[in-house]
């Protein structure tokens, strides 16, 4: 899971929460994948291979994803991906991508012209909602709108079905009711798979709509990058889950607005 490929500074931000990877470090990551015999596939290909408890065709398969459709994907990441013959999937928050340059989080995003050029060169695209909200905080009707409209816009602009969805912000693992509802919304909207921000590698039997990812940023040297790929980082999924569960309990313990008013 990458976001921005640039030399932007994230000084003062804890390494766990950083989302910027320098072009130099990104090139080192891609070189590591190449030298260690990794192949890249799309989320749809990975989900298909893992369906019904199946296994990936090779143990060294990576799905490279980029959230937010920043312009530096095209200028910095894509040439490096091309160098190694790797594919990648970019998830688009459609409110921030236009025919002319727009920005998200103070960073310029790609235009539809640039995205179509990348699509013709083998890059795949998925939905990252319309406005990049925390879906867990929205009413069901608003969730449907974010999921359905973003898919429709991308399909209209690119002329191909959109099968994959990326959940923005922290994924509410601990809320099984919400996960079931979102799964049904995504399925009815025509999605076939998706990714989230829960930490870990994907295994047979995992829900194809909420495939876990490994967060990557400029702090990942070759040793840490390799450890993440090998599954050594997966243990963080458990404390991450219990942290979300504690937050859920804390929120549920708060009195409702009506109760506070009374």
Among the residue ranges 194-208, 211-225, 244-258, the one predicted with the least confidence is 244-258
Query: What's the average model confidence in pLDDT over 19-48?
Result: 96
**pTM, whole model, 2 decimals?**
0.90
pLDDT digits (tens, 9 = 90+) for 10-22: 999 999 899 999 9
Q: Give the pLDDT confidence score for residue 259 in this predicted structure.
A: 47
Q: Give the pLDDT confidence score for residue 255 in this predicted structure.
A: 56
Burial class (CB in 10 A: 0-12, 13-18, 19+), 149: middle
Q: Give the pLDDT confidence score for residue 204 in this predicted structure.
A: 85
By the 8 A CB rule, do 46 and 207 touch? no
Q: Give the pLDDT confidence score for residue 244 in this predicted structure.
A: 46
Burial class (CB in 10 A: 0-12, 13-18, 19+), 7: middle
Q: Give the pLDDT confidence score for residue 50 in this predicted structure.
A: 81
Among the residue ranges 32-36, 59-63, 211-215, the one predicted with the least confidence is 59-63
Q: Residue 163's Cα: distance from chain center in Å?
A: 13
Q: Give the pLDDT confidence score for residue 262 in this predicted structure.
A: 45
Token digits of residue 249: 């309990």
Query: What's the average model confidence in pLDDT over 239-261?
Result: 51
- First and final C-alpha spacing in the chain: 46
Q: Give the pLDDT confidence score for residue 245 in this predicted structure.
A: 46
By the 8 A CB rule, do 26 and 177 touch? no
- Which of the four pLDDT bands, split at 50, 70 and 90, describes residue 247? low
Q: Give the pLDDT confidence score for residue 49 in this predicted structure.
A: 85
What is the CATH code of the structural domain delimited by 4-261? 3.20.20.370
Token digits of residue 82: 């091309």
Taking the C-alpha atoms of 173, 175, 179 and 185 in order, what is their torsion angle to the nearest 10 degrees? -140
Q: Give the pLDDT confidence score for residue 254 in this predicted structure.
A: 55
Q: Give the pLDDT confidence score for residue 38 in this predicted structure.
A: 96
Q: Which residues pair with 126 in a beta bridge?
A: 91
Residue 74 confidence (pLDDT) above 80: yes
pLDDT digits (tens, 9 = 90+) for 81-113: 999 999 999 999 999 999 999 999 999 999 999
Residue with more model confidence, 185 or 55: 185
Residue 243 confidence (pLDDT) above 70: no
Among the residue ranges 20-34, 47-61, 124-138, 148-162, the one predicted with the least confidence is 47-61
């Amino acid at each position: 899971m990458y976001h921005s490929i640039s030399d932007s500074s994230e000084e003062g931000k804890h390494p766990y929460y950083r989302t910027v990877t320098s072009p130099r470090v990104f090139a080192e990551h891609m070189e590591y994948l190449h030298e260690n015999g990794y192949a890249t596939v799309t989320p749809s290909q990975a989900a298909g291979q893992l369906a019904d408890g199946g296994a990936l065709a090779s143990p060294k398969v990576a799905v490279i994803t980029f959230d937010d459709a920043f312009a530096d994907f095209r200028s910095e990441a894509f040439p490096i991906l091309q160098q190694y013959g790797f594919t990648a999937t970019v998830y688009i928050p459609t409110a921030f991508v236009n025919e002319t340059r727009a920005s998200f989080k103070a960073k310029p995003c790609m235009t539809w012209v640039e995205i179509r050029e990348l699509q013709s060169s083998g890059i795949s695209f998925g939905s990252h909602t319309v406005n990049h909200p925390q879906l867990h905080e929205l009413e069901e009707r608003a969730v449907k709108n974010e999921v359905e409209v973003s898919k429709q816009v991308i399909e209209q602009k690119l002329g191909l079905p959109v099968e994959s969805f990326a959940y923005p912000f922290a994924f509410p693992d601990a809320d099984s009711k919400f996960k079931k509802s979102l799964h049904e919304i995504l399925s009815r909207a025509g999605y076939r798979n998706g990714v989230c921000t829960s930490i870990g590698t994907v295994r047979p039997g995992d829900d194809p709509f909420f495939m876990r990812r490994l967060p990557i940023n400029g702090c990942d040297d070759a040793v840490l990058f390799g450890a993440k790929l090998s599954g050594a980082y997966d243990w963080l999924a458990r404390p991450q889950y219990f942290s979300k569960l504690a937050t859920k309990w804390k929120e549920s313990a708060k009195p409702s607005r009506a109760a506070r008013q009374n």
